[in-house]
Structure 1
Amino acid sequence: MLIAALLAAALSGAPGALPADLAQAAHEYDEAQVKSDRAALERLLAPDYVLHNSQGQVQDKTSFIADQIAPGYKLEPFVVEEKVEKVMGDTAILGGVARAKGTAGGELYDVRLRFIDVWAKRGGRWVVVFSQATRAPKS
């Protein structure tokens, strides 16, 4: 799986790789979304987390997690393409393009999203503080 290979490279300290603790947190965040893991999402999102979603709405941490764990919601595993990885001390910008497929409210969805997650290292651990998602043309 691509995510596992990327994580292994990051954890090995390869040149240009993300810090190991950030790579691990990013991997856990992706997994938490796919597994609708409330506890992991609570841990990985900052209390003041804000999402500007692909429907033009602004969501806070509580609202985002509620959507992720709602009955009838399922996100299939995804691969991030056109990666963006910028680390500036205790702040990082991770993003790219991902095809999000699954169900929401019992309805199938299949969208391609260009996204950015802003991470901050707080209290010695990385948390997502802001996300932006924009629908991208299907390729």
Structure 2
Amino acid sequence: MKHLIASVLLAAAFAVPASAAPSADSSAVTAIKQLGQDMGDAMVALDVERIDRMFGDDWMTIGQSGSAYTKAELLGDIKSGKKKLTWFELRPIDVQVFGDVAIAQGNVLEKRVVDGQETEMELVYQDVLKKREGRWVVVRSTGAKVK
């Protein structure tokens, strides 16, 4: 029964109506890739105002603990210095645009300080973006460390 449910869910996930097929909107893809670079630059600069504009108020992710982590918590951690990105290098990013929604997947090398401890890591991530008031904002994110 579990295999049947998983098969149905998998089939449904790939049954994309033609109207929801990804577009080849190169200007949107370019803007979203630039947003990724700008986001990293703003985090290194601790520019909370810019970061605030790049994330939707409804943004969240699920942290390593399995708990929800919200935009308010992210901004609070940056303001307090609890989390600080000190360096990053984006790797190739794949972007698919579906009208006013997009998915960006990629990986990034990072150096960050968390609770006074510097770490260096490679992460893979996926961001879901929504076009609001003429600009792209991140509304959901997920990521994992590459071992």
> Shorter chain as normaliser: what TM range?
0.7 to 0.9
TM-score (norm 1): 0.75
Partner of 2:19: none
Q: What is the SS of the residue equivalent to 2:51?
A: helix
- Structure 1: stretches of 5+ with no match in the other structure: 1-14
Counterpart residue number, 1:89: 99
Task: Tell whether the 8 Å contact from 1:54 to 1:113 is kept in structure 2 after alignment.
Answer: no
Structural RMSD (CA)? 2.2
1:116 to 118, 122, 126: 126
Choose the corresponding residue for 1:99, options 88, 102, 109: 109
- Cα pair 2:25 2:97 within 8 Å, conserved: no
Report whether the alignment pairs 1:40 with 2:50. yes
| Match in the other structure for 2:17 | none
Whole-Å separation in 2 of the counterparts to 1:54 and 1:135: 10
Alpha-carbon distance in 2 for matches of 1:117, 1:52: 12
Deviations 1:42-98, CA, capped at 9 Å, x for gaps: 111101111123453321110011122322532123122252211121111112111
TM-score (norm. length: structure 2): 0.71
User: In the alignment, does 2:81 pair up with 1:71?
Assistant: yes
- Specify the code of the residue in structure 1 equivalent to 2:54: L
Q: What are the ranges of 5 or more consecutive residues in structure 2 without an aligned counterpart?
A: 1-23
The structure with the greater share of residues assigned to helix is 2
Equivalenced residue count is 123
Q: 1:54 to 1:78 in 2, by over 3 A?
A: farther
1:82 and 1:97 in contact (8 A); partners too? yes
Contact 1:54 / 1:135 at 8 angstroms: preserved in 2? Answer: no
